[in-house]
């Protein structure tokens, strides 16, 4: 349940297919390259603090293997437990002035100058094993355009399918 399962998309085999099975996978086109899940790192972690939720995806740039993360921070109702994440079923987050996106590459953290974008939690579902809630599966899509060195850069066709347990969720008062 904690492993990454990468099922290639039938239209672009470099990207994972969109699924809602908790495969701990994600991917997106990043200009002419790809930002993809890696078996070397946990793909997603979530932190809730001061009415803000941080949804972070950790992976690599496909052509170089360079580690990269994207962290979306946005206002959220209080989330004290990973099970509370089911709130996000069918929720769209517009990347306007209320959503901050950070990119980390080679240890350098940058707040992106967002032009447009959307993070869409298409499905949020509880997964139970032996009648005990084990994790929340978050599945959805993301796209964003931002200015980088005064020029437009695009992350497109993003999709994620991650299983969040208490180990990868942190609540702070």
- Report the pLDDT value the prediction gives residue 29, as an integer from 0 to 100: 98
Rounded mean pLDDT of 45-58? 97
- Report the pLDDT value the prediction gives residue 156, as an integer from 0 to 100: 97
Residue 6: pLDDT over 80: yes
Rounded mean pLDDT of 15-34? 96
Residue 97: pLDDT over 90: no
Between residues 40 and 72, the one the model is more confident about: 72
Residue 11: pLDDT over 90: yes
- Report the pLDDT value the prediction gives residue 107, as an integer from 0 to 100: 86
CB neighbours of 123 closer than 8 A, spacing ≥ 6?
20, 89, 90, 137, 138, 139, 140
SS3 84: helix
CB 44 within 8 A of CB 27: no
Q: Hey, where are the domains in the chain?
A: 25-172
Residue 98: pLDDT over 90: no
Rounded mean pLDDT of 132-160? 96
Give the Å distances, CA to CA, from 146 to 12, 57, 149.
23, 17, 10
pTM: 0.95
């Amino acid at each position: 349940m904690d492993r990454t399962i990468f099922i290639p998309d039938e239209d672009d085999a470099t990207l994972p297919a969109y699924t809602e099975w908790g495969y701990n996978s994600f991917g997106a086109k990043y200009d002419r390259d790809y930002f993809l899940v890696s078996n070397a790192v946990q793909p997603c972690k979530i932190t809730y603090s001061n009415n803000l939720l941080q949804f972070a995806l950790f992976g690599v740039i496909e052509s170089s293997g360079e580690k990269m993360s994207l962290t979306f921070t946005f206002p959220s109702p209080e989330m004290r437990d990973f099970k509370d994440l089911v709130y996000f079923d069918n929720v769209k987050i517009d990347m306007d002035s209320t959503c901050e996106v950070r990119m980390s590459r080679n240890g350098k953290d940058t707040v992106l100058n967002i032009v447009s974008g959307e993070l869409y939690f298409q499905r949020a579902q509880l997964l139970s094993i032996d009648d005990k809630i084990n994790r929340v599966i978050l599945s959805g899509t993301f796209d964003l355009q931002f200015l980088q060195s005064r020029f437009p850069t695009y992350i497109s066709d993003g999709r994620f399918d991650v299983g969040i347990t208490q180990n990868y969720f942190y609540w702070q008062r």
